[in-house]
Amino acid sequence: MTSATLRGRAWKLLEMVTTPLLPSDYLDLVSPLRAGADLRGRIEAVHPETGDASTVVIRPGRGWRGHTAGQYLRIGVDVDGRRLWRAYSITSPTDRRDGRLTITVKAVPDGKVSNHLVRRAAPGTLVQLEQATGDFVLPQAKPAKVLYLTAGSGITPVMGMLRDTDFADVVLVHCAPRPRDVIFRDELHGLAANGRLRLTEVHTGTDGRLDVARLDELVPDWAERETWACGPAGLLDAAEEHWAAHGVRELLHTERFRPATVVTGEGGEVTFSATGRTVDADGATPLLDVGEEAGVLMPSGCRMGICFGCVTPLKAGAVRDLRTGEITEAEPGVLIQTCVSAAAGPCDIER
Amino acid sequence: MTAIDPTAHLTAEQIEELGRELDAIRDEVIADRGEQDAAYIRKVISAQRKLELASRGVLLFSLFPPAWLIGTAGLSVAKIMDNMEIGHNVLHGQWDWMRDPKIHSTTWEWDHVSPSDQWKHSHNELHHTYTNVIGKDNDLGYGIMRVDEDQKWQPFHLGQPLWNLVNACFFEYGIAAYDLELGKNLGKRRRKDPEFRARARAVGRKIRKQVLKDYVIHPLLSGPSFLPTLAATFTANLVRNVWSHSVIMCGHFPEGVQVFERRSIDGETRGQWYLRQMMGSANISGSRAMHFMTGNLSHQIEHHLFPDLPSNRYAEVAVKVRALFEKYELEYVTGPLPKQVFSAWRKVVRLSLPNRKPKVRASKRGQEVLAA
C-alpha cells in the first residue's frame, strides 16, 4: 500500500470519527493556516501610505503558491459580519524573506471593503484568500527599455513589479491629484535618487488630467518601450488608442480595475443562465414567479421568505428584497431568496 | 381549541397595523445585524467543538467513574448546543447573511439522524408556514398524537402518553421518521416511489454514520473503556433527545396555545399570519443559560414571528413583542420550563381521552362580526 492510499484511509477513518463535521472543522480551530486548509491569511500589520491608502501585511496559509510580480489576488474580508470579496494587486516582491505578502488598498468613497481595510482592519484578523492571478506581468525575457504608466492606485501592481525586478532603463509616469496623494512617494523618490528609475509625477489636481499625447514630451522614446499601464478606464482607453495609432499596440500591457458598480433600478432583464432563458421582469414580481412563468425549474418552499428553500446563486446584477427594500449585488457565493427578491436592474440567476 | 376566540376583539385594521409594527421590529434588527452577531455565532460554534472534543477525550478514560460522569455531561451539553442553538438556527438561514459558506443553511449538517435538507423541508417550510393548522402542520402531535379537542378521537389515542414518552427518548429517530413522512409513505404504492426511496436511503446513510461514530468508533478508540463509552454516548443522546423534546413540546403544546382550522388560512394576510404565529406559540421563561440551552426556542413566539432573525436577538425582540401583546390585549403564553412541560404533558394525557365538541371556532378570529 502506498503512503498516499494509507493517508487516504486514515483520513476516511478520521471523517468517521468527526461526522457530521469534517476533521478540518476541528483543525481549523487550532491551525487555520495549515497546509491542506482552505486558503486563508492572517493580517499582521496595516501601515498607512497616504491619507486614504494603507498597506496590509498578510501571512498567507501554507497553501499559498506565491505570485508573479504584477498579479492580484481576491481576498474575502468580513465587514460588519458579512463576507465580501475584492481583488487587490500584490505590492510585495515575489521573494520576500518572511513569506508575507502585501496588498496596498486605497479607500474609495463608500467602498465597504477598502475603507474597512484602510481604517479598521486589525492585526490578527483572519481573511480568506484565493491564489494570485492575472496576466499583467513581466515577460521572461527582459525588455531593454520599460515604461510604467500609472494613475492613482494603478501604481500598486507596478510597485510589485518595481520591487521585484530591476531593469536597466525604467521610466515611471505616475498621476495623482496632489504630491501627498502619491502612494509609495518616498520609496519611488528613493529609487529615482539611486538611479534605478526615472520618475515623472503628474499632479492632476493642478495640471489637469494627463493627455497621453504629452508623452512625446515627457518620455520622447515611449514608442520604443515595453509599457505597462494601470489606472482609470479613461487613461487606459486613451493609451490603447494612442499606441495603436502609432502602430506599437503590442508593446502596451494594460490592467483595468473593474469597477464594482452594478446598474440598479426597478426591474430589468433577468437571465436564467443554467437554462439559457432571458425574460423581462418588473421590480415587484418575485424572481421565483418570474422563473416559473418562464418555464425554469425553480426550487421553492414557503413562498414568503421564511424557509430558505428557494435560495439560488445570484451571478450578476442586483436584486431588491421586497420586504425591506435592501439591495443585494452579485458577488461570488451570494445566494438570494428568490421568493422575496425582485430584479433591481439586469441580473443573472443561476437556474 | 378554546371555546372563545381570544383575538375576536381585534378589527381587520388592527391586525394589519399589528403586522406593520412587527415588520418594523424585524427591519430594525436586520439593519443593525453585524460584527457582534457574527462573532457570537462563531464563538458558540467554536465552544461547542471544543466541548465535544474535550468530552470525547475524557470519555477515552470512562472506565473511571468520574471521567464517565464528566465526559457524559460534557457530551450531552455539546450535543444539545449542536442541535439547538447552532443547528436549528443555522438551518433556518439565520446566519446566511454572513455569507460564510461554512455557517450557511445550504451547507450545514448537524449531529442528528435526520439529514439537514429533509428536516429543513418539514420544519422550515411545512411547520413554519402552516403553524398550528390542523391537517397542514404535522408538528401538531407529529401525526401520532391528538393535541386539540377539535381533532377526532380514536382508540389509538389512548396510548399517546406512552408514544410521547417513547418519542421523547428516541426523538431524533422520531424526527427522521417524521421528516420522511414514514407513516404515510409506508403504504405499498408510496413505498416504491423513487423520490421517497432516495430520501429513505439518505436517512439510512445518515443513521449509519451517526451510529457508527457514537456506538462503534468512539467506544473502540476507548479500548478498555469500550462499554462505558458506549453507555456514555447512549446517555448523551438520550439526554439530548429528552431535552429537545421537552423544549419543543413547550413551543406549541401548553394550555393557552391556539390551533387553527385548515379553512382559516385561506387568503391569510401578513397581519393574520403574524397573529396566528403569536397565538400558536408559547415561550419558556428563565435565565440566560436556560435560553441558550434551548437554542433560544424559549423565545418560541419571537422565533415563529421572525424565524430568520439571529437567535441571539430574540431576547431583545421579546421585550417589544410582549409590549405588542399587551397593546392588543392578547395572551402571551409563557412560564418556567417545569410548568410548561407539565402543562403540555397534562394536555397529552387529557386528550388521550375523548371529549365533547367546543362551541365557537377560532377560525373566525379577527372578524369584526365577533368584535364585541
User: Per-residue pLDDT tens for A220-251?
Assistant: 999 999 999 999 999 999 999 999 999 999 99
Interface of B with A in 114-143 (CB under 8 A): 120-121, 124-125, 128-129
A126 Cα to chain B: minimum distance (Å): 13
Please tell me the distance from the alpha carbon of residue A187 to that of residue A193, in angstroms, as a whole number: 10
Of A304, A308, A337, Cβ closest to residue B129 = A304
Residues of A in contact with B99 (CB under 8 A): 82-84, 331, 333-334
Residue B372 confidence (pLDDT): 27
Cβ–Cβ pairs < 8 A, chains A and B: 103
Which distant-in-sequence residues (6+ apart) come within 8 Å of B348 by Cβ?
Answer: B145, B147, B160, B161, B164, B253
Measuring CA to CA, which residue among B70, B56, B222, B244 is closest to residue B167? B244
SS3 category, B45: helix
Model confidence at A50: pLDDT above 70:
yes
Give the amino acid at A10.
Answer: A
Q: Model-level pTM?
A: 0.94
Q: What is the mean pLDDT of residues A46-55?
A: 97
Q: What is the mean pLDDT of residues A190-217?
A: 95
Model confidence at A278: pLDDT above 50:
yes
A334 Cα to chain B: minimum distance (Å): 7
CB contact under 8 Å between A84 and B129, yes or no, is no
Measuring CA to CA, which residue among A68, A42, A256 is closest to residue A129? A42
SS3 category, A322: coil
CB contact under 8 Å between B217 and A324, yes or no, is no
Check: CB of residue B87 under 8 Å from CB of residue B175: no
B92 Cα to chain A: minimum distance (Å): 7
Q: Checking DSSP bridges between strand A198-203 and strand A311-321, what pairing results, if any?
A: unpaired
Check: CB of residue A320 under 8 Å from CB of residue A329: no
The confidence band for B60, taking pLDDT boundaries of 50, 70 and 90, is: very high
**Domains of chain A (ranges, CATH numbers):** 1-30 (no CATH), 40-129 (2.40.30.10), 146-255 (3.40.50.80), 265-349 (3.10.20.30)
CB contact under 8 Å between B125 and A311, yes or no, is no
Residues of B in contact with A334 (CB under 8 A): 99
The chain-wide mean pLDDT, for chain B, equals 92
Measuring CA to CA, how many Å separate A84 from each of A39, A115, B30, B107?
A: 15, 12, 18, 19
Please tell me the distance from the alpha carbon of residue A347 to that of residue A342, in angstroms, as a whole number: 10
Residue B308 confidence (pLDDT): 96
CB contact under 8 Å between B98 and A302, yes or no, is no
ipTM of the complex: 0.93
Model confidence at B318: pLDDT above 80:
yes
Q: What is the mean pLDDT of residues B181-203?
A: 89
Cis status, amide bond into A332, omega within 30 of 0: no
Nearest CA in chain A to B111: A20
Measuring CA to CA, which residue among A28, A25, A23 is closest to residue A7? A23
Give the amino acid at B160.
Answer: Q
The confidence band for B357, taking pLDDT boundaries of 50, 70 and 90, is: low
A238 Cα to chain B: minimum distance (Å): 39
Which distant-in-sequence residues (6+ apart) come within 8 Å of B25 by Cβ?
Answer: B306, B317, B320, B321
More confident residue, B314 or B185: B314
Q: What is the mean pLDDT of residues A240-269?
A: 89
Residue of A82, A303, A306, A311 best to disrupt the B interface, most CBs of B under 10 A:
A306
Check: CB of residue B210 under 8 Å from CB of residue B234: no
Model confidence at B33: pLDDT above 80:
yes
Interface of B with A in 46-65 (CB under 8 A): 46, 49-50, 53
B30 Cα to chain A: minimum distance (Å): 9
Residue B368 confidence (pLDDT): 32
The chain-wide mean pLDDT, for chain A, equals 95
Nearest CA in chain A to B54: A26
Interface of B with A in 151-190 (CB under 8 A): none
pLDDT tens-digit profile of A70-97?
999 999 999 999 999 999 999 999 999 9
Q: What is the mean pLDDT of residues A132-141?
A: 94
Model confidence at B78: pLDDT above 90:
yes
A206 Cα to chain B: minimum distance (Å): 42
Measuring CA to CA, how many Å separate B56 from each of A284, B49, B228, B372?
A: 52, 11, 12, 61
CB contact under 8 Å between B109 and A307, yes or no, is no
Of B27, B129, B221, Cβ closest to residue A302 = B129
Residue of A9, A14, A21 best to disrupt the B interface, most CBs of B under 10 A:
A21
The confidence band for B365, taking pLDDT boundaries of 50, 70 and 90, is: very low
Q: How far apart are the first and last CA of chain A?
A: 44
Please tell me the distance from the alpha carbon of residue A57 to that of residue A42, in angstroms, as a whole number: 8
A307 Cα to chain B: minimum distance (Å): 5
Length of chain B (residues): 372
The confidence band for B139, taking pLDDT boundaries of 50, 70 and 90, is: confident
CB contact under 8 Å between B125 and A301, yes or no, is yes
Check: CB of residue B181 under 8 Å from CB of residue B193: no
Residue A138 confidence (pLDDT): 94
Of A309, A324, A337, Cβ closest to residue B30 = A324
Which distant-in-sequence residues (6+ apart) come within 8 Å of A78 by Cβ?
Answer: A84, A125, A127, B35, B38, B98, B100
